[in-house]
Amino acid sequence: MAIVKRVIRALLLLLLLVFIVIQFFHPLPNSDGDESGTIANVFPVSDTLQAILKTSCYDCHSNHTNYPWYAKIQPVDWWLDHHVKEGKAELNFSIFASYSPRRQYRKFEEIMEQVKADEMPVYAYTLPHPEAALDASQKELLITWSSAMRDTLEQHHPMDSLVRKKK
């Protein structure tokens, strides 16, 4: 029995040591500081809409992530960084201007779909950030704006270049 206690104690000390050591390893910041490609540079974004995007979207979908205090603790930092990188790979409002018209069109459609389905912002984000949860009027504003921006793209680009023809 004494051997089992020693092994458990040694394992706990090893885990504590690993936990302490990983605190010194943090992901690199994921912001490039370049503002030339932001969505507001190519599409009209009202102050109200900009506030909604900043509060509910930008932490995961822009180069302006504000990490909470608990992000300084590993492995939480790695987990959050992974989710932010994943979110930015899917949609990054900071580089939206660099997207092709087809991709912009599709992203506006996805914004509408995900906001309508209450899939964005995700519950795991709104739980610690209740101010990010969208109310009905905010959802309607985002959906209406996304629809209008998608329609604007349709007017300025041939439809077949934006939407793949269904066979």
* Residue carrying structure tokens 């050591």: 21
pLDDT band at 3 (very low <50, low <70, confident <90, very high): confident
Higher pLDDT, 161 or 62: 62
59, 84 contact by CB (below 8 A): yes
By three-state DSSP, how is residue 66 classified?
Answer: coil
∠ CA 8-12-15, rounded to 5°: 140
**pLDDT digit string (tens) for 63-72?**
888 887 777 7
Q: How far apart are CA 100 and CA 116, in angstroms?
A: 24
Q: Tell me, what's the pLDDT at 116?
A: 95
* Model pTM above 0.95: no
Query: What does R_g of the chain's alpha carbons equal in angstroms?
Result: 21
∠ CA 34-112-142, rounded to 5°: 65
Domain residue extents for the chain: 28-162
Q: Tell me, what's the pLDDT at 135?
A: 96
